[in-house]
Structure 1
Amino acid sequence: MDLLQFLNENYYMLVPVLWVIGIFLKQTPTIPNWAITWILLGVSLVGGAFFFGFTAEAVFNGVIAAGVAVFGHQMVKQTAEAMEGKK
């Protein structure tokens, strides 16, 4: 499924920003793994509302942007782990 087809192109820049924030959060020992997705969702919603206004479309796109960032990271991570397991 291509989630980017549902994401407004103005939000494309938010996905790599969320990815980088997620990497930094993962390296922070005081933040539990389960909280990272919630933090990224919050950052995405606040960022979207700040730049594009607080509308239903902004909320929808914020959720999709966070989903794409988390989903993309997991795809890369799990594919790399699977490829290492085949060696």
Structure 2
Amino acid sequence: MTWGEFNKLSLDKKINKLYQDGTFIMSIRYYEYKVNLYLFGNFYLEVFVNHKHACIEKILLLDTNHSRMKFYSDQIKLPAIFNTQP
């Protein structure tokens, strides 16, 4: 499944598909969210969980240019294609 195909699914279907076929990598805290990083096929997804409301609010393709990459790379070794250091 491509990102485009996955992204067209409803949030409920994305959640089901991700929990069935995805691989949990790690979690970070980011403002009011707990962000779970998953490997799904050949791409990484961020699952934004609002822990105060105990719900998943959104699932996004990992943005390798976002400042959140620092939180991930401080804790795990991501593949070289995600290395944002010059």
Between Structure 1 and Structure 2, the one with more strand by share is: 2
Between Structure 1 and Structure 2, the one with more helix by share is: 1
Q: Does 1 or 2 have the higher relative contact order (CA < 8 Å, sep 6+)? A: 1
Whichever of the two has the greater Rg, that structure is 1
